[in-house]
Amino acid sequence: MSFASPMIQEPASVPEPAVAAKVAARNVNVHYAEKHALKDVSVDIPARAVTSFIGPSGCGKSTFLRCINRMNDTIPICRVTGEITIDGKDIYDSRLDVVLLRARVGMVFQKPNPFPKSIYENVAYGPRLHGMARNKTELDEIVVNSLKRASLFEEVKDRLQESGTGLSGGQQQRLCIARAIAVSPEVILMDEPCSALDPIATAKIEELIDELRSNFTIVIVTHSMQQAARVSQRTAFFHLGSLVEEGSTEQIFTNPKDKRTQDYITGRFG
Amino acid sequence: MTDTSMAPPETGIRTFDYGSDEAQARVKRRYKTEARFKLYGLLAVLFAGAFVFVLLADIVRKGMPAFFEHRVVLTLDLDASLIDPTGRREIDVLRNADYNKIVMDAWRANFPEVTQRAERRRLEALVSSGAADDLRAAVIRDPALIGQKVRFPVLLSDDADLHFKGLSTRISAVAGAGALDVKVNGREVELNGSGQPFAAILADVKAGLMQDAERVGAELARLPASQQGGNNAALDARRIELTQKVAELRRRAGDAGSAETIDFSAMPSRIIRAEGAAIRLQEIGPGSAKGFLLVAPQREIARLESWTVATFATPESNRKASDADISWLETLNARGAIEKAFATRFFSSGDSREPELAGIRGALIGSALTLLVTLIVCLPLGVGAAVYLEEFAPKNRFTDILEVNINNLAAVPSIVFGLLGLAMFLNFFGLPRSAPLVGGLVLALLVLPTIIIASRAALKAVPPSIKEAALGVGASHQQAIFHHVLPLAMPGIMTGTIIGMAHALGETAPLLMIGMVAFIVDIPQAITDPGTVLPVQIYLWSDLPEVAFQAKTAGAILVLLGFLFVMNGAAILLRRRFERRW
């Protein structure tokens, strides 16, 4: 496995990673009104692998994550420049339908946010919206499969009609994951999915992420370096709005090329 | 500064003794101010509570009589030749029969001695003009009654009704002392008795005269003093007049044995009751009296062994019910012919110039139709505006101005909306005057800002994570809002709407402008029929001179308050039931 060059600031020198890039970002800049939140980020995210974004608070990792499914569009003052492609297609192309993009790029949020509806309805909402099931049987199948994939089915199979908000925090987060995978996305973005959970629930989610890797391209933002080390194959370190270093998780954690990465992972700041 | 390895500077932090007297005193002061503030709060709440209690108690006390009416049960002869001479029971014939004659014949039969025209008028005025309508309705409902003699409750007039509600005069009755010889000459009566049977009554009359003398004396004392060199002839004349009046009253009151003639415009009336008869005393001496037979006795009387004298405290000319009226009514009451019943009429009939016939149904239906129009216009428009402004409108100067103006609209005096309604809906669009349709539109303008503001607040209270979740699975902006945000905001929107509707229900001023203040007897059947609403009905009634309308006013206020309580209660319930915490 070869590593991306540490000299990210020079985008021309970014080499092709070994595995096929599912998502590729080139010179992405984000401004919140006057604030330059993300500076010239270029990165390749490989398919069917977990890529984690680490960095201190306010470094722009979540902002970048939200660029990948254009969630930043909902913030009026936010301006994105540069190019992000999924399978080679520019997602900021004006002809591209942002709603369909978000169906292809699912998202799991920091705080579990199930709809205040039944567990079944939570998962069925997306497939129903996109007309993925022709009848009730098909819909049931999608819901059950999604819940199974999210390792939640066994726990909730007897109470699918009960409210999703009645579940525990970890179960709610897995429900949100089930909801995301129910619409068959290609990429799943996770924005600190375990920050509101206890260690046991966190362990379950991490296990789940590892399982989902075989089918989905997963990007995870995390504050926990241990989590990044445990679940991801590739890691990108952000600092003050710039991508400092990106490489295999093993390399970043054992042999970082940049002094700032080294300082961060050894706990000297952040 | 954040570096924890640095030692604290030697002199940087001052030591502070929290146990010192000064510090203790400060703590004590803190507790005291807190206790004082709590006390102020409690006092304010108690004060407000006392006011609410007094207000409610007063309205209930004044309004309760409106829910009851008095009727006299008469045996009516439903003569077939009068009602339906053809015998075919045609509805038009039944409707046009002279029921008033049937009622009045039965009513007058109670007092055959009343023959004089003016007196007969007074007697007939005690029965409501609506009594014949009641009988007509009963006969049309059940034509089998024709040809029978039926006991039928006949509605009394407002003055008679007020008498039984204790609003005519205070009546005190005492037993008379000693037997009386009675000499009846037509309606004139002479009463004589040995041992001064009228001495107590005469003393009472004289005491009343003394009180009058004192009252006139006080009035005299209040007159401004004559000015030095001034020439105010009118004032001087008045002073002389009052001085003479005081002297005259004092003389009459002091002369214990002299007979007195009752002045019915200024003195309480005294009525002798015995054997079913009522005799009003006109001249009272210690041993004899002259009177007028208001109600004839059931048999000839020459001597009365036991009798009572009733005093009507208010002089006759100061009240609506005359001495004769009260005597007739009391006679019937003593016979057990008067009944008190719940006034369903208050809820089932429209407005009327006769207080005993007036009801709030017209106003209730008018209010319901008006609110219906308001709701139909307001809810979709208000919620739509709120959703657009909160979720879709671009945030720029124009929408800022729009927002400020919507908030300001909520503070515009309601009568201005009435003027707008008059200019737009009546004059420009030519919609019908006095119609619930126009009233509803005007109230919709009034309530719209309230609903928009409440709806926006409810939409804002839905956490953005719900919207993000929906967007995250590929819902469009509109889908996310209509599928998730709006349903979650609905309880808040409903609460705001109900409160807005309650506001609209109590609104009067704008409706005056569009002619809903008219006197309308018919109950509106459609939103384009002329009608009025409950608060305007209250306003109209409160303006009328008849005493009985005071009770109607308070009664209608009670009904309005009831509806407002129910609506606000519903809003609270809704909020409790569906309130969601994230």
CA distance A161 to A120: 6
Q: Does A93 have pLDDT greater than 90?
A: no
- B166 secondary structure, DSSP code: T
Residues of B within 8 A of A182 (CB-CB) are 473
**DSSP characters over B24-46:** HHHHHHHHHHHHHHHHHHHHHHH
Burial class (CB in 10 A: 0-12, 13-18, 19+), B380: exposed
Q: How far apart are CA A180 and CA A173, in angstroms?
A: 10
Which two three-digit tokens encode residue B59? 């309205």
Q: What is the pLDDT of residue A15?
A: 46
Min CA distance, A183 vs chain B (Å)? 7
Task: State the pLDDT at residue B582.
Answer: 52
pLDDT band at residue B223 under the 50/70/90 scheme: confident
Task: List, in sequence order, the alpha helices (H) in chain A.
Answer: 61-68, 98-104, 119-129, 136-149, 153-156, 169-182, 199-212, 225-231, 249-254, 259-265
| Mean pLDDT of the residues in chain B | 89
pLDDT tens-place string over residues B555-582: 999 999 999 999 999 988 888 887 765 5
Q: Does the structural domain B361-578 have CATH classification 1.10.3720.10?
A: yes
Q: What is the pLDDT of residues A233-242, one digit of tens each?
A: 999 999 999 9
Inter-chain touch B394–A111, beta carbons under 8 Å? no
Share of chain B above pLDDT 90, in %: 58
| B418 burial via Cβ count (<10 Å: 0-12, 13-18, 19+) | buried
**What are φ and ψ of residue B114, in 5° steps?**
-80, 105
Does B16 or A124 have the greater pLDDT score? A124
Nearest to B473 among A74, A116, A183 (CB): A183
Question: Which residues in chain A have Cβ-Cβ distances shorter than 8 Å to B483?
Answer: 125
Q: How far is the C-alpha of B168 from the C-alpha of A188, rounded, in Å?
A: 86
- Mean pLDDT on A97-115: 91
B461 touches chain A (CB under 8 A): no
The whole-number pLDDT of residue A10 equals 40
Task: Tell me whether residue B16 is exposed, middle or buried, using C-beta atoms within 10 angstroms of its C-beta: 0 to 12, 13 to 18, 19 or more.
Answer: exposed
Percent pLDDT > 70 in chain B is: 97
* pLDDT value for B6: 54
What is the nearest CA distance from B573 to chain A, expressed in angstroms? 20
Confidence bin at B93 (pLDDT 50/70/90): confident
Q: Distance between CA atoms of B561 and B570, rounded to whole angstroms?
A: 14
**Cα distance between residue A43 and residue A25, in whole Å:** 5
Asked if A99 lies within 8 A of B474 by C-beta distance, the reply is: yes
Higher-confidence residue: A95 or B5?
A95
The arithmetic mean of pLDDT across residues A4-16, rounded, is: 42
A62, A91, A98, A102: best to mutate for the B interface, most B CBs within 10 A: A102
Q: Which of A14-18, B31-35, B550-554 has the lowest mean pLDDT?
A: A14-18
pLDDT digits (tens, 9 = 90+) for B268-321: 999 999 888 899 999 888 888 899 989 988 888 888 888 899 999 999 998 889
Contacts of B479 in chain A (CB under 8 A): 129
The confidence band for B226, taking pLDDT boundaries of 50, 70 and 90, is: low
Amino acid in position A76: P
| Residue, of B151 and B305, whose pLDDT is higher | B151
Nearest to A103 among B463, B469, B473 (CB): B473
Domain positions in chain B: 21-63, 66-164, 171-319, 361-578
What pLDDT score was predicted for residue A149? Answer: 87
Chain A CB contacts of B3 below 8 Å: none
pTM of the full predicted structure?
0.81
Q: Check pLDDT > 50 for residue B549.
A: yes
By a Cβ cutoff of 8 Å, what residues of chain A touch chain B? 69, 71, 74, 76, 99-100, 102-104, 106-109, 111, 113-116, 125-126, 129-130, 176, 179-180, 182-183
